[in-house]
Amino acid sequence: HHDDKHTVVIIGYGGMGSYHAKLIKDNGRLQVIGTYDIDHARGKASEQDGYRAYESYEAVLNDAAAEIVLIATPNDVHKDLALHAFAAGKHVICEKPVTMSVEDFEAMTAAADQANKVVMVHQNRRWDEDYLIIKQMYEQKTIGDLFRIESRVHGANGIPGDWRHLDAHGGGMLLDWGVHLLDQLIFMIDSKIISVSSTLSFILGDEVDDGFEAMLQFENGVSALVEVGTTNFITLPRWYVKGTEGTGVIEDWSMTGRIVTRNRDAEIVEPKPVQAGVGLTKTMAPPSEMATLTGALPKPYAQRSSFYDNFAAVIEGADEAIVRNDEVLRVLNLIEAIFRSGRTGETVKDFDLYK
């Protein structure tokens, strides 16, 4: 019996919906009491996993025992599902991208405010260890001031699944993986973005982007390159960052990586010219062994609480949301700017991403 736990109904029991159910099983503050999916086969799967399958969304909304609606459907229906949830007096956890436009998210938060209910977006990759290492390096200046951040995810499997191929469902990689990488940057860098230029990839012939590259310039001097690819049979590192004192790399999700910094105590020795191709170079010669220090990646501090614990505290009025809606709004603004730059080939400067 879990009288002390907040009750959740998962809407959309697909890949992510069923993953939420698994994660929440171990959570002390939330409890899944059922699911609803338009696909009856997924309802059956839910029952096999031990969760009541509601026969309609209406039935979920009419169930006073359901306190929280967790939306894990394709992106195009997040907004309508959320509006109905608020009207029925439910709080909402919504998957990313929360909506497909700034306008839709503004409508969603306005409805939540009016109903006095909480909506929090599942930007779970704020808890990723690789990201927390970079965030800590940024804040603690482990390799000096970071002035260049390259954040990439590379796959070679194309766009997965069904609805992710379709514009009407909010498919494409900018809305899918892009939203995570951009959210991580916005949460880390407390500065206005002054320009955005991007290219979108349509190499696989889908109607939606199968990847993109975006260059972001922040007012504080940081520049960031964000890249998502699904046609990369050889991958580049997950993170490559440059600071005023060194360079850092994180290769992958197993946290393989290192930092290399200039050795301030070493005597300055002119590098010897090396053969490079058919020429000689001193500029590109590796620094002498004494000139640099190679170290391990720092151990990151942990986020103060899990997403679910934080959500429970927020609806109790006991804590602030870790994922704030003004940050989510900035990310959606940024996504619109990246689409605009990608489609026009122009650098976008005429927007205010910092409110």
**Which residues would be at the binding site for ligand NAD (CB under 6 A)?**
11-17, 36-39, 42, 72-75, 77, 95-96, 122, 124, 161, 163, 176
Q: How far is the CB of 344 from ligand NAD (least distance, A)?
A: 26
Q: Which two tokens stand for residue 13?
A: 């029991």
Distant-in-sequence, close-in-space partners of 259: CB < 8 Å, separation ≥ 6: 137, 142, 143, 246, 247, 248, 249, 294, 295, 296, 297, 298
Q: How far is the CB of 300 from ligand NAD (least distance, A)?
A: 19
Q: How far is the CB of 179 from ligand NAD (least distance, A)?
A: 8
Q: Which residue, 346, 345, 258, 268, is CA-closest to 294? A: 258
Query: Of 13 and 218, which has the nearer Cβ to ligand NAD?
Result: 13
Q: Which pairing describes strands 68-71 and 6-11: parallel, antiparallel, or unpaired? A: parallel
Q: How far is the CB of 247 from ligand NAD (least distance, A)?
A: 29
Q: Which residue, 139, 79, 81, 133, is CA-closest to 109? A: 79
Q: Which two tokens stand for residue 254?
A: 């197993």
Provide the 8-state DSSP code for 285.
S
Query: Of 218 and 308, which has the nearer Cβ to ligand NAD?
Result: 308
Residue nearest to ligand NAD (CB): 14
Query: Of 125 and 262, which has the nearer Cβ to ligand NAD?
Result: 125
Separation of CA 221 from chain center: 23
Query: Of 154 and 222, which has the nearer Cβ to ligand NAD?
Result: 154
DSSP bridge pairs for 152: 227
Q: How far is the CB of 77 from ligand NAD (least distance, A)?
A: 4
Task: Please give the Cα distance from 152 to 184 (Å, whole number).
Answer: 12
Query: Of 16 and 331, which has the nearer Cβ to ligand NAD?
Result: 16
Query: Of 37 and 227, which has the nearer Cβ to ligand NAD?
Result: 37
Q: How far is the CB of 122 from ligand NAD (least distance, A)?
A: 5
Q: Which residue, 129, 133, 123, 128, is CA-closest to 241? A: 133
Task: Please give the Cα distance from 145 to 247 (Å, whole number).
Answer: 11
Q: How far is the CB of 148 from ligand NAD (least distance, A)?
A: 27
Task: Please give the Cα distance from 321 to 323 (Å, whole number).
Answer: 5
Q: How far is the CB of 71 from ligand NAD (least distance, A)?
A: 8
The CA-based angle 56-57-62, given to 5 degrees, is 100
Task: Please give the Cα distance from 115 to 64 (Å, whole number).
Answer: 16
Query: Of 70 and 137, which has the nearer Cβ to ligand NAD?
Result: 70
Q: How far is the CB of 173 from ligand NAD (least distance, A)?
A: 11
CB atoms within 10 A of CB 172: 28
Separation of CA 239 from chain center: 14
Query: Of 73 and 217, which has the nearer Cβ to ligand NAD?
Result: 73
Query: Of 28 and 161, which has the nearer Cβ to ligand NAD?
Result: 161
Provide the 8-state DSSP code for 142.
B
